[in-house]
Every structure is written in structure tokens, then in C-alpha cells.
Structure 1
Amino acid sequence: MKKRILIAPLNWGLGHATRCIPIINALKAHQFEPIIASDGIALSLLKKEFPDITCLELPSYDIMYPKNGKHFKLKMLQSSPKMAKAIKAEKKAVASIIETYQIDGIISDNRLGVYNEKVHCVFITHQLQVLSGNTTWLSTKLHQKIIKRFQECWVPDNLGDINLSGKLGHTPMYDIPVKYIGPLSRFCKEDLPIKYDVMVLLSGPEPQRTLFENKLLAEFKNYKGKVIFIKGVIENEQHISEEKNMFIYNYMTSSQLEQTINESALVVSRSGYTTLMDLTKLSKNAFFVPTPGQYEQEYLAERLTTLGFVASCKQEDFTIKKLDDISKYEGLNAMDYELNFNKLFGLFKGK
């Protein structure tokens, strides 16, 4: 009988869900039976990707971004009692799922309450250090305290000097094993003819996703090149519209996205970590606009710009004219990293 592994990504944009796709495929390939648990758009996306896998709903953290990025930390503090309640409910739900579905192991991608003492549990994160301005020491300490409840921590990045996460994923942790598993991406690079001058790829929590969408739609109306615009809104049906030089989609499936990114000369997007991993795998040129107030995205964008890989700017400063800067940057380059999933999943074979 196949061992059942509960895999549970955080519903915070689509990044946590999409980077779990290669893990889910690897579990299937190595004779495990994955059970998916999440909520909101993350769960909707994984249901579409894996219609034959059992998908369960977990309590929602229900996090909303402030309209003004300067209020991000305050909003997070205000949300903390609601989050604490959701994490408690999540832990209770997981205990029930373990009994009902006879779960043998857990992989949590940043879901803080998805662990249980009865089975081996893994936490996936690229944030061993959590940036929060002058409270970084506290947010990091709290996050590491949660990580220590798991048996292993998997960091989706390279261990060496050439890496994507910088100080986020390369802060020492001594209390549990930390394994660097290389950048995770559901995509494969293909040498396809370029069809689009720019691909706009949106994701992330509201209301910032919509605010960014409206700004970009207005800006790209004045752009002369060919644009494909993906809103990142997961709905029951795919909708496509055409507006002058733009083809606008509400969402795309993984296979459609893979092909379209390969066919695009430049990708304009947030600097979320999963997006970085995807665009690195496909060796793409990018222009990053971090979510206002999100320290992690601001750090990642600034770091890659300083290193000479991609152009970036604040959301309030973005104009079409900014795209003129991209010629100064070399783009993202694929990191060859062979991951031994058989060895990685060894934790689940002994219990």
C-alpha cells in the first residue's frame, strides 16, 4: 500500500501552490499517494492541476494587504489574532485529516499549523530570516520557533554563493536539519520563437493585485509592442479578451504559462520568490515591481537589480518608459541542480 503524504501550501498569492506542483509530481513518481490541503485560489489552482488527487479545504488565514504599502506591518499586526485562531483551527483540522485519511507524513509549505506529533513533518520555506524592517529579529525568531516544530526544513534554493534568496534563505539554523533542495519550478525551458514583446504576469493577495492590474492595463495601452496579460485570477472558466495590442487572460494553466513565458521576450511581474524560481529556470529577462510594503519582495528585487540581473522599480514609479532600462541587465540564468527525490523522501519511508 502506498504511503499517503499530506502536502499543504499557504494560500498567499499562487506561489506556494505552484512551487508544490513539482513536489506533488515527484511524490507520485516515487510511489507515494499525495493528498492536497489548502484554501482559496491556491486550492482552486491545484484542483485544476490535479483533478484525480484528493483535495481538502483548510481554514483560511484570510490575509488582506493594505492599499498603502506603508501600512503593511500594521495590517499584519492587526491580522495576527485572526491568524492565530486560523492556525489553531488548522492544527485541529490536520489531526482529523490524519485519522480520516491515514496520513503517513506531512509537507507544509509555510502553513504554520500543518504539523502533527504522530507523523514525520517537513516545512518548506525560503525564509529562514523573515524581513520586517526594524522588527526583523523578532519576526525571524518567531518563524524559526515554528520551523523547529518540524523534523526537517527544505529550502528551495542553492546552498552555494550563487543563489536566489540571499540572506533570506541562508541564515544559520542549528536545531533541525535544513536541506537545500534547489530552485523549484513546474516549468521546463524550450527554445520557442518569440511571439510577445512583453508578458505581464500578475499574482498575489488583494487589493494590491487589482491595483497593480489597473495601473499596468492603463500603462500598456500606450505600448507599441505585442503584450500578453495574465491577471492571475483563478475562475471556473478561462476568459480571453483583446484590446488593441493586448491579449488579456484571467488565468492560464501550467502548460499554457510554460509555453507563453518561453515565447515572451520580457516578463513584467512581482518579485515573489516562486516567480524568481520560474523565470530563472526558463532563463528569462524580467522587470520586477515588488508588492508595496512587502519587505521580502523589495529585498529580492533590489538584490537582483544590484547584481545586474534584472531591472526593477517601485509600483508608484512604474511607467512604460522604465522598460527602456532592461537592455542594461543580463537576465536570469538557469541553475543546473539535480535533486535526488528518492533520498529527499527518505524521511517518510521509515515511519
Structure 2
Amino acid sequence: MNKNILIAPLNWGLGHATRCIPIIKALEQNGFTPIIASDGVALALLKKEFPHIIAIELPGYNISYAENGKNFKWKLVAQMPKMFRAIRKEKALVRKIIANYEIAGIISDNRLGVYSKSVPSVFMTHQLNVLSGKTSWFTTKVHSNYISKFNVCWVPDTDKFPNLSGKLGHLEKPLKKTIYIGPLSRFEKKSLSIKYDLMVILSGPEPQRTLLEEKLIEELQAYPKEILFVKGVIQNEQKTWKENHITYYNFMNSEQLNTAFNESEMVLCRSGYTTVMDLAKLDKKAFFIPTPGQYEQEYLAKKYKTEGIAPSCKQEKFKLEKLSKIDVYKGLQNYATAIDWENLFSLFHGKREF
């Protein structure tokens, strides 16, 4: 019988869930039976992608976000007790899941309570340094303490320069049991005719996703060419409509997105790390608007701008004419490396120790 592996992405936007898609496929290809566990839109998306896989709902962290980016960190800090309570509930539920589903291994994408001392447990993150302004040393220390409870930490990036995560994924003093597995993407580069001059894809927590959507729709009315606008709102039914030169989708599945990216000349999006990995796999040029107050996205946008890869600006400062800067930048190149899944999954066969 195939071994059951629990794979649990954090429900923070869609990025953690979507980058688990290639892992789920790799598990199936290597003779394992994945079982999905998450909550909210992350769980909804994976259930649509893998309707044949068992899906379990975990306790939601239920974090609400500030409308003003300057208040983002402090509102998050105020909700930490609520988050830690959810993590404790998560740990208790994981014990039951292990027993009920005969789990032989765990892959947690940033879910701090999804691990066990009784089965091999993997923590996946691109944030070894957790940036939070002047408190970065503290948030990084707390995060490192949680990571130490797992058997191994997978970082979806390369260990040397050039890399995509910069100081987020590379500590001055590396953590033990860390493996750089290479960038992850569910997409493949295809030779397709360009259908859209610009693709807009939204993601991330509310209310910032909606605030950016409203701003972009207003600004892009004067854009002279064809636009594909994917709102990133997971609903029961897919909806699509066209208004003037803009074709809208409430959401797309992975296959549709893969085609859409390949048929688009440029991309306008958040500077979330999963999106960055996808763009790098597809060699795309992009313009980034980081989520206000999210230090990680602000850092990445600044990094790519400094390195001449992609332009960016703050959400409140975006104007249509800023898109003309995309041509001056070199775009995201292919950082892809072949991932040795057989070796990584050997942990679940008891063939690897750290």
C-alpha cells in the first residue's frame, strides 16, 4: 500500500496552496498518497485542483488585516494570542489525523502546528528571516524555534547567488537540517501566440486584494491594448466576462493560468514569492505592487528593482504610465533547477537522517 503523506499549506492568500501543487503531483508520481489539510480559500483551491484527494479542514488562524499598511504589523501582533490558540488546536487535530489516516509523513508549508514527533515532518518556507522592521530579530527567532521542531526544513530556492529569495531565505548563520530544494512552480513554459499585452493577477489577504482591484480597474480603463484580469477570488463557479478591452475571470485553475501566462506579454501582480517563482519559470517581465505593510513583499519588490529585474511601486502611488518602465528591466530569468523528489521523499521511507 502507498504511504499516506499529509500536506498542509498555510491559508494566507493563495501562494502557499499553489506552490504545494507540484509537491502533491510529485508525491503521487513517486508512489505516495497525499492527503490535503488546510482552511479557507487555500483548501478550496486545492479541492478544485485535486477533487480525488481526501481534504481535511484545519482550524483557521482567522487573522484580519489593516486597511492602512502602516498598521499592518501592529494589528498582526495584537492577534498573535488568537493565532497561537489556533496552532494549539491544529496540533491536537494533527494527532487525530495521524491516527485516523495512518499518516506516514508530514509536509507543512508554514503551518506551525502541523508536525509530529512520531512521523517524519517537513517544514517548508522561503522565510528563514522573518522581516518585521525593528522586531525582525525577534520574529526570526520565534520562527526558527518552531522550525527546529521539524525533522527538516525545505527552502524553495537555490542556496547560492543568484537566487530569488535574497536575505529572506538565506541566514548568515544557516539553520541545521535545511535543504534548498530549488524554486517551485506548477507551470511550464510553452510556445504560444501572445493574446494579451498585459495580464493582471491578484491574490493575498483582504481588504488589500479588493483595494488593489478597485484601483487597477480604474487606472487600466485607459490602457490601449488587450488585458486579462484574474481577480483571484475562489468561488463555487468560474465566471468570465469582457468589458471593453479587459477580459475578467473571478479565478482560473492551474491549467488555465498556465496558458494565460504564456499568452501574455507582461504581468502586473503582487510581489508574493510564489508568484515570483512562477514568473521566473516562465521568463516573464513584470511590474510588482507589494501588499502594503507586508515587509516580505516590500523587500522582494525592492530587491528585484535594485537588481534591474522588475519595476515596482507602492499601491497608493500606482499610475498607468508606470507600466512603461517594464521594458527597461530584464525580467525574471529561469532560475529553475531539477528537483530530486526521490531523494527528498526518502525521509518518508526512513532512509534519510539529519
Normalised to the residue count of structure 1, the TM-score between the two structures is 0.99
Using the TM superposition, give the Cα deviation of residue 160 of structure 1 relative to its aligned residue in structure 2, in angstroms: 1.3
Partners of 2:336 and 2:2 lie apart in 1 by 31
Letter in 2 for 1:194: I
Residue 111 (structure 2) pairs with residue 100 (structure 1): no
Letter in 2 for 1:127: Q
Question: SS at 1:34's partner residue?
Answer: strand
* Worse overlay, 221-230 or 168-177: 168-177
Residue of structure 2 in register with 1:226 after alignment: 226
Residue of structure 2 in register with 1:271 after alignment: 271
* Worse overlay, 173-182 or 254-263: 173-182
Contact 1:226/1:246 (CA < 8 Å) preserved in 2? yes
Residue of structure 2 in register with 1:309 after alignment: 309
Residue of structure 2 in register with 1:39 after alignment: 39
Partners of 2:180 and 2:36 lie apart in 1 by 23
Normalised to the residue count of structure 2, the TM-score between the two structures is 0.98
Q: Please give the per-residue CA displacement for 1:40-65, whole angstroms capped at 9, x wherever unaligned.
A: 00000000000100000000011122
Contact 2:194/2:264 (CA < 8 Å) preserved in 1? yes
* Worse overlay, 168-177 or 107-116: 168-177
- Distance of aligned partners of 1:174 and 1:216 in 2 relative to their CA distance in 1, 3 Å threshold: closer
CA RMSD of aligned residues (A): 0.9
Using the TM superposition, give the Cα deviation of residue 176 of structure 1 relative to its aligned residue in structure 2, in angstroms: 3.2
Contact 2:280/2:336 (CA < 8 Å) preserved in 1? no
Residue of structure 2 in register with 1:330 after alignment: 330
Letter in 2 for 1:193: S
Letter in 1 for 2:243: E
Question: SS at 1:134's partner residue?
Answer: coil
Residue of structure 2 in register with 1:140 after alignment: 140
Partners of 1:236 and 1:310 lie apart in 2 by 34
Using the TM superposition, give the Cα deviation of residue 172 of structure 1 relative to its aligned residue in structure 2, in angstroms: 4.6
Using the TM superposition, give the Cα deviation of residue 175 of structure 1 relative to its aligned residue in structure 2, in angstroms: 5.3
Residue of structure 1 in register with 2:59 after alignment: 59
Partners of 2:203 and 2:301 lie apart in 1 by 16
Question: SS at 2:268's partner residue?
Answer: strand
Residue of structure 2 in register with 1:179 after alignment: 179
Letter in 2 for 1:89: K
Unaligned runs of 5+ in 2: none
Partners of 1:132 and 1:281 lie apart in 2 by 28
* Matched ranges for 1:18-33 at <5 A: 18-33=18-33
Question: SS at 1:56's partner residue?
Answer: strand
Identity %: 58
Aligned residues: 351
Using the TM superposition, give the Cα deviation of residue 6 of structure 1 relative to its aligned residue in structure 2, in angstroms: 0.2
Question: SS at 1:296's partner residue?
Answer: helix
- Distance of aligned partners of 1:173 and 1:37 in 2 relative to their CA distance in 1, 3 Å threshold: farther
Contact 2:183/2:336 (CA < 8 Å) preserved in 1? no
Structure 1 residue ranges, 4+ long, deviating more than 2 angstroms after superposition: 172-176
Question: SS at 1:199's partner residue?
Answer: strand
Residue 115 (structure 2) pairs with residue 115 (structure 1): yes
Letter in 2 for 1:323: L
Residue of structure 2 in register with 1:6 after alignment: 6
Using the TM superposition, give the Cα deviation of residue 258 of structure 1 relative to its aligned residue in structure 2, in angstroms: 0.4
Q: Please give the per-residue CA displacement for 1:270-302, whole angstroms capped at 9, x wherever unaligned.
A: 000000000000000000000000000000000
Question: SS at 1:53's partner residue?
Answer: coil
Residue of structure 2 in register with 1:210 after alignment: 210
Contact 1:202/1:213 (CA < 8 Å) preserved in 2? yes
Residue of structure 1 in register with 2:50 after alignment: 50
* Matched ranges for 1:78-93 at <5 A: 78-93=78-93
Residue of structure 2 in register with 1:196 after alignment: 196
Residue of structure 1 in register with 2:284 after alignment: 284
* Worse overlay, 330-339 or 89-98: 330-339
Partners of 1:333 and 1:174 lie apart in 2 by 26
